[in-house]
Amino acid sequence: MDDGLADLLHRVVMLLGEAARRRTDGPDGLTYSQIRLLGTLEDIEPTTQHKLAQALSVSDPAISRALRPLQTDGLVQITVDPEHARRRLVRLTEAGREAFHATGKPLDEEFRAALVAAGFPYDRYLEDTHRLAELLASD
């Protein structure tokens, strides 16, 4: 990938994350990082902790630390993989799914509405981003 494109993609992701954190991170409720983790998990569950870490581009120890409070709060379930005793399988609980849909989905809609209102071609951006991800994954 061209270094300029990689830098641009990284900057866009950082800016979106900062905007999301300003709207979510506070003393009550889920942080943006937790919302992102729950949303990613919903897309790929059940999955191993390692695959979840890869999907979020974080280390295995970081995902383990991030999952602890979510497990304590009853939002995720972590079990031993019956096929491999050293692996842990992660899935959302119903409470985790509800928490994500109550917080993450409205945040997504808020961003979409704001971008569309500003004249940004959101649907085209989303389609092109999916295509770019597929191309990069197949490389």
32-80 confidence digits (pLDDT tens): 889 889 999 999 999 999 999 999 989 999 999 999 999 999 999 999 9
**Segment 14-43 mean pLDDT:** 79
Which pLDDT value is given to residue 13?
A: 67
Q: Which residue has the tokens 């997504």?
A: 108
DSSP 3-state assignment of 48?
A: strand
Residues above pLDDT 70, as percent of the chain:
88
Instruction: Mark 116-135 as b/e (b = at least 16 C-beta within 10 Å).
Output: eeeeeebeeeeeeeeeeeee
Q: What is the pLDDT of residue 115?
A: 83
For residues 79-90, average pLDDT: 92
Average pLDDT, the chain: 86
- What percent of the residues of the chain are helix, what percent strand, and what percent coil, each to the nearest 5? 70, 10, 20
Q: What is the mean pLDDT of residues 7-26?
A: 70
Rg (CA), the chain: 16
What is the C-alpha separation between 20 and 14, in angstroms, rounded?
10
Taken in order of first residue, the domains within the chain and their CATH numbers are: 31-137 (1.10.10.10)
Once rounded to an integer, what is the mean pLDDT over residues 104-127? 85
> Which of 45-49, 55-59, 85-89, 126-130 shows the lowest mean pLDDT across its residues?
126-130
pTM over 0.85, yes/no: no
Of the pLDDT bands very low, low, confident and very high (cuts 50, 70, 90), residue 1 is low
Of the candidates 97, 1, 85, 80, the one whose C-alpha atom is nearest the C-alpha of residue 41 is 97
